[in-house]
Amino acid sequence: MAIRKINDNTINLPREMQSHHYPILYQVEETHWWYVGRRRIIQSLVEKIRGTLNDPNPRILDVGCGTGANLKMLAKYGRAEGVDISSQAVEFCRERGLESVKLGAAEDLPYESDSFELITALDVIEHLDDDVAGLREMRRVLRHDGRLLLFVPAFMFLWGVQDDVSNHRRRYTLPSLLQVVKEAGFSVEWASYANISFFLPVLLVRSVMRWLGLRAATEYGINISLMNGPFSSLFAAERFIFKNGRLPFGVSAVCIAKRVEKPE
């Protein structure tokens, strides 16, 4: 993993992820331990949500679908569609054989109101200049009895290289996440931190890099193939905790919310 010195921590970034990110993501999204473990957790939460929906074959929208690995998983649970602000990401989805993908921004979704039973935004709203506006737009296209599933990075003191290359605007605490979700017109049904397993290693590595002024092109290089299986299983094991409990802290935060009907 190439590392170079940085002298200026203030970088003005465009909201779309850096272009070199998508080819790397396409290569690692189905095998890297972090993506595999997270997807298993998301899958268990989708299964939980599906039982609360009226439609046994729900229409699902993955906002910020990236290169499509999560969209493939969501297709097992309903009529899954994706949208992303990057034309490069949309093309990678098509290479995976995913045709129900559109180009569009989270704040201006190219769909009719009340269209979906389930909307997922998996590490997406941290990219938005106005996260509440993006969430309100998701509420618009969500049906009145639908659900929203969010996954976001947690704690600003965990800010690292991947936040930079992904052009994140912020990391959340669980209270700050729930605040913007409620402000956007949702009621929170369940929320927790996630990825407690790697909290201390991530904190240590990112703190050392920050103190030494080191910078890598990406954190995907931290991917030892022999450890992908054990690491992903350790991370994914948190899904069993989520059946009946929550975690007090973690590298990420996750939330399930229901659309609230505004009073007349």
Residue 244 lies in a domain: yes
Q: Which two tokens stand for residue 226?
A: 């022999």
Note the pLDDT of residue 208.
86
End-to-end CA distance of the chain: 56
Number of domains the chain is built from: 1
Measured distance CA(44)–CA(29) in Å, rounded: 18
Q: Name the pLDDT band for 227 (thresholds 50, 70, 90).
A: confident
Measured distance CA(9)–CA(64) in Å, rounded: 26
Mean pLDDT of the chain: 88
The CATH number for 201's domain is 3.40.50.150
Residue 26 lies in a domain: yes
Residue 157 lies in a domain: yes
Percent of the chain with pLDDT over 90: 72
Q: Are strands 3-5 and 59-63 parallel, antiparallel or unpaired?
A: unpaired
* Domain span at 145: 3-259
- Greater confidence, 222 or 13? 222
Residue 264 lies in a domain: no
pLDDT score of 101 more than 70? yes
pLDDT score of 252 more than 70? yes
Residue 18 · residue 167 · CB < 8 Å: yes
Q: Which two tokens stand for residue 68?
A: 């499509």
Residue 80 · residue 71 · CB < 8 Å: yes
Strand partners, 172: 154
Residue 103 lies in a domain: yes
Note the pLDDT of residue 151.
98
CB atoms within 10 A of CB 201: 11
